[in-house]
Amino acid sequence: MKRLITKLVSLLILIGAPSSAFASSYIMHTVKPGDSLNSIAQEHKVSYNQLTNLNGKEELYAGSLVKIRPIAGNKDIRIYLNDQIVTSDTSPYMENGRTFVPIRFVAEAIGIEQINWNGQNEEAILMKNGVTISLPIRQSYAMIDNKSIKLDAPINIYNGRTFVPLRFVAEAFNVDVQWQESTASVKLYTKDYKTLSIQTEVKSASYSQEDLYWLSRLVHAEAEAESFEGKLAVANCIINRKKSKDFPNTIKEVIFDKNWGVQYTPTANGTIYNTPSEESVRAARMALEGNNNIGESLYFLNPKKSTNSWVIKNRTFYKRIQNHDFYL
């Protein structure tokens, strides 16, 4: 009879403890029998030198992982659960278009009730709400309640952790998954959260459909890659201007204000007209309903990109949220 060792105590090195650090995310390749760096380079249309620079010239063995290239734009893959970022001590990687994450990370993120280890078959077993998933190491299949499911890339060991396909595991446990390529972000939404999810209709008589329309677009254009807290802060800066005697008295007029020159780059480059994400709509709506996380701030900028020294020299710094500095 197969012996299950609960909680994976004996596999701590494979699962690891959570942390808040990010490393680099890569496109990976699982070595197959007969593979060489030359053949892998040809398969992925990269140079041999690029592979040796990323991986060295150590002997390959079947089942090991080879770095092909960093994620486009040298981005780290970021994971969000119900619009809040969640982190792991080992960065996710991608293979065959699938995002792989440490098994403990996904288990804790979506509230897996029980994690077991089958030493005889070398497989992790996850259980929640009557659903059981078996994830055999270095295999390109998994089992859901004894039904075999083919995977696009194998479960593997990387940086001392067991890595599993995030979408497969999440969706098996009834968690919605969205991939946002522009920011290399994976968004996870539990069903109970989705029932309270983004509504584009007006929820309060204190603001109009036009207010929500333009504010959500400005938030998305200015803070798409920011955390939800950052999006909420940007939205509140616009609202604070609307309330100030020094700025126009409607959301739309504040956004398109040119009294002292273009105030927001998206109105000049056209990104203000892009369709906002659900998270941007939610941030705008919450700000309009009175959820203020940035006090009376009227200005924000990215100090790494901004060429506007006037704000820095003439306004009072209030707070930094991710990549934006906010000023009163």
How many Å is the maximal CA-CA distance in the chain?
77
Whole-prediction pTM: 0.56
Supply the DSSP string of 91-159, one letter for each residue.
--EEETTEEEEEHHHHHHHTT-SEEEEETTTTEEEEEETTEEEEEETT-SEEEETTEEEE-SS--EEET
Tell me the pLDDT band of 38, cut-offs 50, 70 and 90.
Answer: very high
Query: Lowest-pLDDT range, 10-14, 96-100, 135-139, 145-149?
Result: 10-14
Best-predicted range by mean pLDDT (41-55, 114-128, 203-217, 271-285) = 41-55
Specify whether the backbone of 156 is left (phi greater than 0), alpha (psi in -120 to 50) or beta. Answer: beta
What average pLDDT does the chain have?
Answer: 81
Structural domains of the chain, with CATH? 4-25+71-190 (3.30.457.10), 209-327 (1.10.10.2520)
* Coil/strand/helix, residue 320: strand
Gyration radius (Cα) of the chain, Å = 24
> Tens of pLDDT along 287-317?
888 888 888 888 888 887 777 678 888 888 8
For residue 65, is pLDDT > 90? yes
pLDDT on residue 41: 93
For residue 194, is pLDDT > 90? no
Dist. CA 110–CA 189, nearest whole Å: 9
